[in-house]
């Protein structure tokens, strides 16, 4: 594609939604079963050694002691189960956090200092903090905050799918995606939706199903999948909507052109200091005039963020599509 991009890996080497958390849970359950069995054996030995002389010599005493043991065991089991669930959740978080630290940008997205655009023959659109490469048949929409006129995201739409791009200031140490992901999961669950984490092309991928109403008011769901690519002091977020959000094969339609568009993005971070999670505002391309709200699309314009977790940081106003 561009900049002498490396040859794409064979399909057998691709990651296709591997659920790492499931593997962690399986291992934890096996280890916990063995630990619980050993703990019960140890406790039985201790009870025998500490028993009062004569306890259990009569049937009534034996029955009472047995009842107490059952009650204690049930209480212990409940506590152990809660502890096991917490441990499994913590281990899963650790696995996803480690995945976030991987380098997935060999074939893009790129930092402006990683490419040479001199005499570049490819047609691109320069939006300031983002330089994007449109594809045939795509429609481009800019999401602008009402009061500041700041462009906070760009929507690339085609047919019944769309990709929303936004870029944020981020620490060099990384780790921001894990915090953002947690907030998005909480928001989704509060809204009555469902979430799933999988191993995606850029690390941990967040897949969501949110309640939504159709054009005739019928109840349905809006699928989305979120990628986060982390570069030097920036994080590029891409949210896929529509049919492309449900496709598994990244090399086939309808997701392929959006996947390529995300990898073709060039980020111009700038040298100025900005708070981690703050949106890196874009600018209107030369010759483009601002106009009224555009028609609806698979990815709602009102979802454009002013911060990495989707919540406004500087203004409560909702953005609109330009």
Confidence tier at 76 by pLDDT (50, 70, 90): low
Whether 229 has a pLDDT exceeding 70, the answer reads yes
pLDDT digit string, tens, across residues 4-63: 444 344 444 444 444 444 443 444 444 443 344 344 344 444 443 444 334 444 444 444
Q: Enumerate the domain spans of the chain.
A: 20-100, 110-321
For residue 164, whether the previous peptide bond is cis, meaning omega lies within 30 degrees of 0, is no
Fold of 110-321: Jelly Rolls (2.60.120)
Q: For the chain, how far is it from start to end, CA to CA, in angstroms?
A: 29
Q: What is the mean pLDDT of residues 187-195?
A: 95
Question: Contact, 126 vs 282, CB < 8 A?
Answer: no
Concatenate the DSSP letters of all residues of 73-127 into one string: HHHHHHHHHHHHHHHHHHHHHHHHHHHHTS---TTS-EEGGG---TT--S--EE-
Residues 113-129 pLDDT 10s: 999 888 888 999 999 99
For residue 215, give every residue at least 6 positions away whose Cβ sits within 8 Å of its Cβ, in sequence order, or none.
none
């Amino acid at each position: 594609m561009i900049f002498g991009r490396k040859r794409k890996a064979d399909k057998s080497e691709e990651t296709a939604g591997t659920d790492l958390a499931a593997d962690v849970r399986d291992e934890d359950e096996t280890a916990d079963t063995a630990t619980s069995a050993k703990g019960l054996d140890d406790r039985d030995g201790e009870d025998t050694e500490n028993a009062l002389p004569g306890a259990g010599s009569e049937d009534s005493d034996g029955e009472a002691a047995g009842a107490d043991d059952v009650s204690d065991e049930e209480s212990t089991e409940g506590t152990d189960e809660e502890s096991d669930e917490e441990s499994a959740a913590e281990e899963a978080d650790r696995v996803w956090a480690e995945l976030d630290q991987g380098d997935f940008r060999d074939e893009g997205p790129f930092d402006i200092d990683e490419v040479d655009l001199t005499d570049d023959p490819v047609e691109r659109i320069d939006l300031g903090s983002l330089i994007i490469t449109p594809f045939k048949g795509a429609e481009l929409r800019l999401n602008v905050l009402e009061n500041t006129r700041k462009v906070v995201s760009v929507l690339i739409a085609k047919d019944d799918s769309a990709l929303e791009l936004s870029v944020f200031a981020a620490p060099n140490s990384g780790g921001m995606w894990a915090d953002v992901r947690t907030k998005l999961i909480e928001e989704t669950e509060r809204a009555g939706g469902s979430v799933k984490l999988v191993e995606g092309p850029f690390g941990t991928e967040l897949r969501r199903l949110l309640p939504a109403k159709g054009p005739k008011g019928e109840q349905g769901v809006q699928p989305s999948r979120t990628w986060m690519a982390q570069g030097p002091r920036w994080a590029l977020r891409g949210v896929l909507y529509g049919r492309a959000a449900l496709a598994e094969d990244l090399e086939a339609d309808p997701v392929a052109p959006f996947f390529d568009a995300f990898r073709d993005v060039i980020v111009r971070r700038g040298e100025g200091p900005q708070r981690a999670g703050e949106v890196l505002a874009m600018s209107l391309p030369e010759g483009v005039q601002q106009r009224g709200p555009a028609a609806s699309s698979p990815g709602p314009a009102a979802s454009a963020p002013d911060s990495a977790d989707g919540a406004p940081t500087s203004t409560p106003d909702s953005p609109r599509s330009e």
